[in-house]
Structure formats: structure tokens, C-alpha cells
């Protein structure tokens, strides 16, 4: 059985490409699981994509490097996903972003391949119940009440 928040993370990552929301849900799971480094690495992969998509090249590179360092020692298939493929794609991003000023590379989303049929089924089911965040948040936002705004 996979954690509900992990399943939601995969929905936001693969279906919505909502890397901000990926961070939100997986950070909660990471904290609930005694800071499991696998979840931290996946969380950093989403943050890296969020930064690069928003033209923060340095932040994207830093997060990709950290994610690779956290995830590269795990099995090819880990947590029901093709972890090795994801790590290799992040290594490609590290190489490309390392020389970005001289040779800019285009942004592209990554897809986490799901290999466990039980996880695939859980993600498909969750996709029917998790509405996309439209529009996606581009930065952390304080709740309206704390900003002195009322509805």
C-alpha cells in the first residue's frame, strides 16, 4: 500500500506538472516518515523543475544536484517507480544547467514512470478525485486572513 500523499505527488507531477503542489504534499509526507531521503530527493526533483521553469537556473541546478545525490544509490525500480531513469534524466539536467550561461538548454518537464501496477491503479484512481490547481501557484502565498484581506 502506498502513502496517500505519495500518490497525490505522482498525480501532481505527471498529470498536472504542478511542481509547487508536489513540494507541498511530499514535504508533509517526508516529515511524517522521519525524513525519508527518497521522499526528500523526489521533492527536490519537483523543486528543481519549478525553479528552472521559472527561470531560476541556479536554484534549479542546486536542487537537481541535491536530488541526484539523494536518489542515485537506490534501486533502478524503487517506490514503485523507475527511479534509475529519473536519476539519469536529472543528471542530464545537471550537465545542461552547468553550462547554461554559455549554452542555454530548453526547459522540459520530466515524467516519473510508474512500474508497479498497484501504484498505477492508485494514481489513476486518485487522478479522478484530485482537482488540478488552476491557476498553479508560482510562489508561496500567505493565507488571505494573514494579509489583512477578507472575503
Question: Residue 148 has what pLDDT?
Answer: 40
CATH number 3.90.420.10 given to 4-128: no
Name beta bridge partners: 82. 77
CB-based contact 25:12 (threshold 8 Å): yes
Query: Is there a cis peptide before residue 75, judged by omega within 30 degrees of 0?
Result: no
In the predicted structure, residue 68 carries a pLDDT above the cut 90? yes
Residue located via cell numbers 511542481: 19
In the predicted structure, residue 87 carries a pLDDT above the cut 60? yes
In the predicted structure, residue 64 carries a pLDDT above the cut 90? yes
This prediction's pTM:
0.89
E strand or H helix at 82: strand 81-82
Mean pLDDT of the 101-105 span = 96
Give the C-alpha separation, 92 to 98, whole Å. 10
In the predicted structure, residue 79 carries a pLDDT above the cut 70? yes
Which of 124, 118, 125, 130 has its CA nearest to residue 2? 118
Neighbouring CB atoms inside 10 A of 44's CB total: 23
Question: Residue 54 has what pLDDT?
Answer: 94
Model confidence band, residue 141 (pLDDT cutoffs 50, 70, 90): low
Query: Residues near 91 by Cβ (< 8 Å), separated by ≥ 6?
Result: 68
The 10s digit of each residue's pLDDT in 4-37 is 999 999 999 999 999 999 999 999 999 999 999 9
Amino acid at each position: 500500500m502506498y502513502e496517500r500523499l505519495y500518490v497525490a505527488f505522482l498525480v501532481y507531477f505527471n498529470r498536472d506538472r504542478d511542481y509547487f503542489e508536489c513540494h507541498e504534499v511530499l514535504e508533509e509526507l517526508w516529515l511524517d516518515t522521519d525524513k525519508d531521503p527518497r521522499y526528500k530527493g523526489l521533492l527536490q526533483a519537483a523543486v528543481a523543475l519549478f525553479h528552472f521553469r521559472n527561470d531560476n537556473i541556479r536554484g534549479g541546478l542546486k536542487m537537481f544536484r541535491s536530488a541526484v545525490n539523494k536518489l542515485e544509490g537506490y534501486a533502478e525500480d524503487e517506490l514503485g517507480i523507475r527511479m534509475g531513469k529519473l536519476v539519469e534524466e536529472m543528471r542530464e539536467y545537471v550537465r545542461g544547467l552547468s553550462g547554461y550561461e554559455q549554452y542555454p538548454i530548453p526547459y522540459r518537464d520530466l515524467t516519473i514512470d510508474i512500474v508497479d501496477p498497484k501504484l498505477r491503479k492508485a494514481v489513476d484512481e486518485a487522478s479522478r478525485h484530485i482537482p488540478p490547481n488552476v491557476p498553479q501557484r508560482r510562489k508561496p502565498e500567505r493565507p488571505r486572513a494573514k494579509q489583512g484581506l477578507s472575503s
